[in-house]
Amino acid sequence: MAVPSPTPRSEKDALRRAVRKARMAHVSSLGIETRHALEEQLAEHLSAIVAGATIVAAYVPIGTEISPAPLLARARRLGKTIAYPAFDHGSDTFRFRAGDPVMPGPHRIQQPGPDAPEVIPDLVLVPLIACGPDGTRLGQGKGHYDRALAGLERGRARFVGLGWKVQRIDDAIPADEWDVALDGFACPRFLEWFGEADDA
């Protein structure tokens, strides 16, 4: 009896489980001071990129996601506008709104209030489960970031995935037609650009 080939969805689900487990093990092995020091190293790698941006879109980390907080502190000192994903009531696509995340959104993640101005970022710091060798991003599987990034003009906005080193995997990630690839990936150990993107 022939065994059916795995579908891209089942491959992605299996990969999510494996990388989540690896990420949890990695973060569990870190003391709080070490974790904060590594997040400062992440900020160091991206400080020049943030300096060249005007509006930086970030995220509120959940669970074992790496925090962009030290990087955002640098951005604020430079006078950059900081934005976060914000869902309007009943919408499944978020907008980037400038301001502090002060209220829970529909997915129980803090976001700016509805009166915060909508902005168009030129640098988007993207959370992820995994990043492949060509910049393909594996997210939570809901498609929220793919829909939001698809609405931005590539070339005018850079998409940089943030994660721990264990999240940058060597195997290719199956890509669906709606998946939006990253321009770069940053972790505490390095900053990597894909395709023709560079750190200029």
Structural domain boundaries, residue 101:
8-193
| Within-domain flag for 3 | no
Dump pLDDT digits (tens) for 24-38.
999 999 999 999 999
For the chain, percent of residues with pLDDT exceeding 90 = 71
DSSP code, position 26: H
pLDDT above 80: residue 154: no
DSSP code, position 78: T
CA within 13 Å, CB half, 43: 16
DSSP code, position 157: B
Going by pLDDT thresholds of 50, 70 and 90, the confidence category of residue 2 is very low
Query: For residue 68, which of 128, 137, 142 has the smallest C-alpha distance?
Result: 128
Out of 4-13, 81-90, 131-140, 164-173, pick the least confident.
Answer: 4-13
pLDDT for the residue 8: 67
Number of domains in the chain: 1
pLDDT above 60: residue 115: yes
| Within-domain flag for 116 | yes
pLDDT for the residue 199: 46
Going by pLDDT thresholds of 50, 70 and 90, the confidence category of residue 3 is very low
The alpha-helical segments, DSSP class H, found in the chain are: 8-28, 32-51, 69-77, 144-150
Q: What is the CATH number of the domain that holds 47?
A: 3.40.50.10420
| Within-domain flag for 39 | yes
| Within-domain flag for 200 | no
